[in-house]
Amino acid sequence: TFFYFFRLKNKNKNMKKLILVLFLFLSINLEIQSQNLIGLSKKEVTNYILQEYPNENLTPDWNKTETGYDYVSFERESSTLAYYFTTSEICYSYLVVYPYSKMNGAIEYLNSKFTVYQNEIWIDYNEVADYKYSIQRKEGFFIISCVIYKTH
């Protein structure tokens, strides 16, 4: 789930370690996956999305989760993007909502880019942190979510 690492004991220590690891990861590894903006600030995420899709006139829609964490969503023609932030305003998770007509293409993409871990779960193994992508099927749409699976 999106809140996996927030349930860890000694949250502040773990959060500081996670943010440091993510900063190092983003500094070392220049090949950041498209739209995987985990580790970036609210401003960096918003700026990236607005620059990535300049012709779509996207407007950031800021909200809070039930547990009080900020998230921003962007409505696109065929998908919705949502990025979730820590209290330190660092992105810790994101998801994309698609119509079922995009399911086969999404699975093909995930299979081609990442390692299949379990049914509808993929791992993106990296030097500093690994990311878990998963599909959640809902009525009328599906969600691809990305969270940190493990830091090294």
**pLDDT band at residue 8 under the 50/70/90 scheme:** very low
Of residues 89 and 14, the one with the higher pLDDT is 89
| Mean per-residue pLDDT, 67-74 | 94
Segment 24-46, tens digit of pLDDT:
333 322 222 346 899 999 999 99
What pLDDT score does 15 carry?
53
Angle formed at CA 81 by CA 47 and CA 99, multiple of 5 degrees: 150
Identify the CA nearest to 105 among candidates 70, 75, 74, 78. Answer: 78
Buried/exposed 101-117: b ≥16 CB within 10 Å, e otherwise: ebeeebbeebeeebeee
CB 150 within 8 A of CB 130: yes
| Mean per-residue pLDDT, 68-78 | 92
What pLDDT score does 9 carry?
44
